[in-house]
Amino acid sequence: MVVSLLDELSSLLGNSFLTDQDDSWIWSLGNSIVFNVKDTRNLIDDSMLPDSSTPTRWCRFIPKKVNILIWRILRNRVPTRWNFSRKGVDINSLFCPNFSIIPETTNHLFWVCPLATALWMNIFKWVDPMYPTCNIIQDLYGWLDHYTSSSLHKLIMEAIVGVTIWTLWNFRNESIFGAQALLHSTLFDQVVYYSFLWFSNRHRKATKSMNNWIQNPLIVSIL
């Protein structure tokens, strides 16, 4: 038994030789023969993740959970009733929980639903730029990419858009699963509160007060 094991090890090591070089991982699938995490990640992404023409976005003024939600929305990967139905899930209704006359698609929920439209109109009245003429939620981010203002104001605007989307999603979930229905009138106040809270906590040089933020968040004082 010992002899056969030694013979097997000898056959495995027959083409091997020892050198004075340091031990290292050898990577034959990337751009370098030296193993590195970046090439591993790129290989996994290329072979397993679906292709998308929509670039990944990240705003540092909002939490990770909101950025991930936006990433899923822009790829239509949120569990709306319509998307559940497309996957073969049997559900009681396809209609929007807020206005039950239209199927709950991603674009309806976050952009064209009367509740969403009313909230977006209040948001753009608050921050003062012209209301964008968009047909789908993805177009809103195209509008943001061409938003003509300072880089800081552009980031603040993107954060506010993200908070608005997150607020609409939370309201939808509470309407379906919550013990008590939320009031429509509270949505705008939630956007104002959370956008200020997250911005002030994530921008150390921001000196804007809540009262100033309520008036116009794009007029920001930075030390």
- List, for residues 93-150, the tens digit of each pLDDT value: 899 988 778 899 999 999 999 999 999 999 999 998 788 888 999 999 999 988 877 8
Please report, for the chain, the start and end positions of each structural domain, with discontinuous segments joined by +: 22-51, 64-215
Contact between 99 and 113 under an 8 Å Cβ cutoff? The reply is yes
H helix intervals, 111-180: 114-127, 137-145, 151-177
Tell how far CA 3 is from the center of its chain: 60
Q: What's the rounded Cα separation, in Å, for the pair 39 and 105?
A: 37
176 vs 208, higher pLDDT: 176
Query: What was the pLDDT predicted at 103?
Result: 92
Tokens 């031990």, residue located: 23
d(CA 73, CA 222) in angstroms, rounded, equals 32
Q: Tell me how crowded residue 77 is: count the other CB atoms within 10 A of its CB.
A: 14
Instruction: Report the candidate in 83, 64, 81 with the shortest Cα–Cα distance to residue 166.
Output: 64
- The rounded distance, in Å, linking the Cα atoms of 5 and 76 is 56
pLDDT of residue 167: 97
Question: CB–CB of 59/159 below 8 Å?
Answer: yes
**How far is Cα 2 from Cα 168, in angstroms, rounded to an integer?**
69
* Averaged pLDDT of the chain: 83
Burial letters 102-141, b for 16+ CB under 10 A, else e: bebbbbbbbbbbebbeebbeebeebbeeeeeebeebbebb
DSSP state for residue 186 in the 8-state scheme? G
- Looking at the predicted structure, is the pLDDT value of residue 27 above 70? no
Please report the pLDDT score of residue 129 as a whole number. 78
For residue 47 the two structure tokens come to 């072979």
Binned at pLDDT 50, 70 and 90, residue 28 comes out as low
pLDDT 10s digits, 159-205: 999 999 999 999 999 988 887 777 888 999 999 999 999 998 988 77
For the ranges 76-80, 84-88, 128-132, the lowest mean pLDDT is seen at 128-132
Q: How far apart are CA 103 and CA 47, in angstroms?
A: 34
In 10 A of CB 163, how many CB atoms? Answer: 26
